[in-house]
Structure 1
Amino acid sequence: MSEPITATAPPAPPTRAPYRWRWAALFVILAGEVMDLLDATVTNIAAPSMRADLGGSEGTIQWMGAAYTLAMAVGLITGGRLGDIFGRKRMFLIGAAGFTAGSLLCAVAQTPEVLIGARVIQGLFGSVMLPQGLGMIKEMFPPAEMGKAFGMFGPVMGLSAVGGPILAGWLVEADFWGTGWRMIFLVNLPLGLAALAAGMRFLPESRSPHPLRLDMGGVALASLGGFLVIFPLVQGREHDWPLWAFAMLVASVVVFAVFGLFQSRRSRSGGDPLIVPSLFRKRAFTGGLLTGIVFFSGMAGFMLVFNLYTQMGLGYSALKAGLAMAPWSAGMIVGFGLAQPLQRFGRRLLQGGTLVMALGVAGVLLTLNITGTHPNPWQLAPALVVAGIGMGLLMSPFFDIVLAGVEEHETGSASGTLTAVQQLGSAFGYALLGTVFFDLLGGVPSAGSFDQAIKVTLWVVAGMLVVTFAVAFLLPRQARENAEAAH
């Protein structure tokens, strides 16, 4: 799930008259958020049905999620700049149109390759659409209403997190007009067209008076580096880990090093780098990137593997699998709510959330050991609620802590980079934990192999949470401390 509206930015000048249609425009922006939030999770539920219909290898299941999030990660870094340069309304509409077209291509795909390509289109256009909301909200709303406007995102994200998997499972199982899994993408068409029509009517014209220039060289290097990590992790297992898989992983390190040098050189020469190099001299920001990529990898990978386990291993229907995941999403909403009055604890709240989430993962492992190879959703629910609460507690202070110490001229680059790392971590999690899971299943999966695969994968997730807890010590104790250190 992407978080493009999490950055804290200076409010609009108080002398500016509030935009007349600001609340209608906000709902247009929220419609774009809903499309992204739904499509970031629905393939986890529908993946087994997609593969059964279209064919393809086990890697196809991983690519359905990884292709979307990797494309989103690359595009988000520069998506906000496109709005600053060409106009936020224009880029939102282009992004919404492209995302809707990509959804249609997903729905009509007849091969796994076409479906994966269409997912890339969705991710790229989504990364153009989503970042525009922040700039428009800052200009539309007066300071007194800014909190209410941003407050709308929490319930929308929560409802999407709970409803997305259930909706996907229901649509797949209902099989309206024989569409099967294709309906999970077709539902984007009326939502996307409505967002386009309302956006042309209600969104304000908005752009930055001093936009940064595009860094296409940086985009190319970042894209290549991400691909060189994800591709061998997904495809290497299917080819028995050939030499080229390890060569690509080594090459990714070289490419990212070249990317860093390129960004420094561009900054020194007076250009506009994709990522402002001074950010990496801030311990809090660097620690935030490490914390984020480890945590979001574990979270996304767990969600994929758990849905595969319930459907392929336990024989749940798509709807039952979606309902089985609902306690996790509900717990996340509770966690966000519990975290609001506890923000002053900063890093301790984040680390406490990590421990609660680890406790939930341990609870899932304990449940599997007690119930054997055929647990039912009610038996899994308590541990999933605890894990979800921990995730909500962890995520609530994360962005504020990491971004609070960023200088004003670094805010756009920092928020875009942090959000992109969230998506890149998700892609990495799909690749890594999906590979661990499928590797343990073996050629002819049995109930015992599924049981072993999910347990080992959960241990890996627990290990990633331990790393998250440790790396979080690089973060300041609270957002205020971070901001004071920066100045």
Structure 2
Amino acid sequence: MKHGGMLAVLLAAWFMAQFDFFVVNVAAPSIERDLHAGPAALELIVGGYAFTYAAGMITGGRLGDRYGYRRLFMWGVVAFTIASVLCGLAVNPAQLVAARLLQGLAGAAMVPQVLATISAVYPPSERGQALGWYGVAGGLGSIAGQVLGGLLLTADTLGLGWRVIFLINLPVGLIVVPLAVWLLPEVETARRARLDVPGAAGLAAGLALVLVPLGLGNSLGWPVWTWISMGAAVPVFVLTWRWQRVLGARGGQPVLDLALLKVHSYLAGVGSIVAFMAYFASFMFTLTLLLQGGLGLTAFQAGLAFAPMGVLFSVTSILGTGLVRRYGLIVVMIGGTIIGLGLALMVVGAGLGLPYIMVALMLVGSGNGLVLPQLIGAALVEVAPHQAGIGSGILSTAQQFAGAGGVAVIGAVFFAAAEGGHHVVAMRWSAGIDLGLVLVVIASVAYNRHRAVVTKRAARSRTDARRGS
């Protein structure tokens, strides 16, 4: 594949962002002891990154379209590295919360440029393979947050404690930035226009009104303000949507490119990814609770339990791109079926012990690798290069939003069922809901496959008719 060095630079940053999303879960007990952080502070340390990361993603994509993907990527990596160092140097919970919020904003500037650059630089014949590697890097970052994070904390060779999980980003950033200057190409983007400040503010406010209560609701027992906040998000989103239509009708450039709504494959891809990420994030969350709370494993032992799933995810992600190119979307449907089988095993036998759970996890990991990278590629395949930034931003926001929602809603079901120490029963309930979400993904892919076949037949018929005439 051409541009291999460029892809490695982009994926290193994407891996780093995913790693920092998950690794704090492992370090939370150490942070609590060292900084004397209370439950609310811990929630903000863990969830603050997710909030600013998700809320800024669409604006980050639009800024990339305006100022250039290369420039935004490099400044995003610099800011992310600085924020990581500030996290590692924090001496109290307030400082760590502020640094995590900054880290999320930096990630929101950096990550959309990864998908945007891939979509703009790679021709359609090579884009699928590059997006497959994107899926591999994201999956490995998620798993490494659990496994490598636990290993770093356990080894602690430098005596840094929890700080090492943030400071490790410093050498990565120092390597990625000069390589980005050298290897990343300048990409011609859309016409320059003023940033849609009201639209960006409306989207950020609406996401905040939803994501903050979703992130804090479980630990606080869902007080009244959480429901009021989520209800208030509806009129904010409606008003923002109307403003986007008005601005577009005036010839402006809204922060949401409404032309993307006409790209059927993009809409279907976003819907599939929402269902998949709601399942994936909640499954990772509830499985950690089962392993540590139900089976009594340490954080590091629980992280190691995820390792085979991560390895199989990587292998099938790499193989899946070629298989889809050869056999089509039926491969993704098979992957979804494999995930469903693993989740079904969890439903019927979560209480049969760790070896049984490991078998189920290996099935889930194998299926995930066949599904997730291909969903991303299918969503972006028909997106025009000048829309790549905003298209990637919306896609990334949908991923984070779905992940937060899945953890909150399915996590609430888990906690309710786990009262009195019934972690196995709780896992069965949550895995059952996850299974339903995976079935939605399979159905969506099957529909897209049918549409693709119909479109090909129609195109062939028109070609034959022209030849006949």
**Whole-angstrom distance in 2 between the partners of 1:397 and 1:140:** 18
Residue 312 of structure 1: how far off its partner (Å): 3.6
Corresponding residue for residue 392 of structure 2: 415
Alignment of 1:456 with 2:456, yes or no, is no
Q: Helix, strand or coil for the counterpart of 1:176?
A: coil
1:341 to 310, 323, 344: 323
C-alpha distance in structure 2 between counterparts of 1:357 and 1:454, whole Å: 16
Corresponding residue for 1:270?
251
Summarize the Cα distance change of 1:285–1:191 in structure 2 as closer, same or farther, 3 Å threshold: closer
* Corresponding position of 1:424: 401
TM-fit CA distance, 1:470: 4.3
Aligned to 1:303: 284
Structure having the larger proportion of residues in helix: 2
Say if 1:319 and 1:462 are closer, same or farther in 2 by CA, change over 3 A: same
Provide the identity percentage.
34
CA separation of 1:182/1:205 partners in 2, compared to 1, >3 Å: closer, same or farther?
same
1:290 aligns with 2:271: yes
Instruction: Tell me if the contact between 2:65 and 2:388 (Cα under 8 Å) persists in the aligned partners.
Output: no
1:434 to 393, 411, 422: 411
Q: How does 1:119-130 map to 2 (within 5 A)?
A: 119-130=100-111
- Corresponding position: 1:364 with 2:346: yes
Whichever residue aligns with residue 409 of structure 2, its letter is L
Superposition deviation, residue 476 in structure 1:
4.8
- Unmatched 5+ stretches in structure 2: 463-469
Please name the residue that 1:249 is paired with.
230
For residues 271 and 122 of structure 2, the distance between their equivalents in structure 1, rounded to whole angstroms, comes to 34
1:171 corresponds in structure 2 to 152
Distance 1:416 1:180 in 2: 34
- Amino acid corresponding to residue 79 of structure 1 in structure 2: G
Report the Cα offset of residue 237 of structure 1.
4.0
Q: Which residue of 2 aligns with 1:230?
A: 211
1:274 Cα shift?
Answer: 1.7
CA deviation map 1:356-402 (0-9, x unaligned)? 21211122233423x2xxx33x4322110101122122223313333
8 Å contact 1:362–1:462 — kept in the other structure? yes
Pairwise mapping of residues 462-473 of structure 1 onto structure 2 (< 5 A)? 462-472=435-445
RMSD after superposition: 3.6
Distance 1:143 1:351 in 2: 22
The AA in structure 1 aligned to 2:413 is V
Structure 2 equivalent of residue 6 of structure 1: none
Deviations 1:205-226 (A, max 9, x none): 5553734542222221111111
Over residues 334-363 of structure 1, what are the superposed CA-to-partner deviations in whole Å (9 max), with x where a residue is unaligned?
332443313465554434332321211122
Judged with a 3 Å threshold, the aligned counterparts in structure 2 of structure 1 residues 341 and 206 are, in CA distance, closer, same or farther, namely closer
Residue 110 of structure 1: CA displacement? 4.3
**Distance in structure 2 (CA, Å) of the matches to 1:30 and 1:124:** 18
Structure-2 residue corresponding to 1:100 = 81
AA partner of residue 222 (structure 1): L
Which TM-score applies when normalising by structure 2? 0.83
Deviation (angstroms), 1:267: 0.7
Give the partner amino acid of 1:359. L
Are 2:356 and 1:379 aligned?
yes
Q: CA deviation at 1:251?
A: 1.3
Q: State the shift of 1:299 in Å.
A: 0.5
Does residue 390 (structure 1) correspond to residue 390 (structure 2)? The answer is no
Change (3 A) 1:246 1:84: closer
Match of 1:314 in 2: 295
- The aligned counterpart of 2:48 is 67
Kindly indicate whether the alpha-carbon contact (under 8 Å) linking 1:289 and 1:418 is maintained by their aligned counterparts in 2: yes
Contact 1:173 1:318 in 2 (8 A): no
Q: Distance in 2 between matches of 1:468 and 1:151?
A: 18
Name the CA shift for 1:160/1:285 in 2 (closer, same or farther; >3 Å).
closer
Shift of 1:235: 2.9
Moved more, 221-230 or 339-348: 339-348
Q: Deviation string for 1:233-274 (max 9, x for gaps)?
A: 333344443332222222112222222211111110111112
Match of residue 465 from structure 2: none
Q: Does 1:403 align with 2:385?
A: no
The C-alpha deviation readout for 1:260-310, integer Å capped at 9, x for no partner, is 211111110111112222333555443333322222012112112222332
Letter in 1 for 2:401: L
**1:163-189 Cα deviation digits (max 9, x unpaired):** 443211101112334322221111111
Q: How far, CA to CA, are the matches of 2:297 and 2:362 in structure 1?
A: 19
Maintained 8 Å contact 1:76/1:128? yes
Q: In the aligned structure 1, how far is the partner of 2:19 from the partner of 2:234?
A: 33
Gaps of 5+ in 1: 1-17
Q: Which range is displaced more, 293-302 or 126-135? A: 126-135
Amino acid at match of 2:376: F
8 A contact 1:72–1:123 mirrored in 2: yes
Label 1:398 to 1:192 Cα distance change in 2 as closer, same or farther (>3 A): same
Comparing 178-187 with 229-238, which one deviates more in the overlay? 229-238
State the TM-score, normalized to the length of structure 1.
0.81
What are the Cα deviations for residues 299-340 of structure 1, in whole angstroms up to 9, with x where unaligned?
112112222332343332222111101122123223324433
The match for 1:323 is: 304
Counterpart of 1:300 in structure 2: which amino acid? A
Relative distance call for 1:295 and 1:66 in structure 2 (3 A) is farther
Once residues 455 and 52 of structure 2 are traced to their aligned partners in structure 1, the CA distance between those partners, rounded to angstroms, is 31
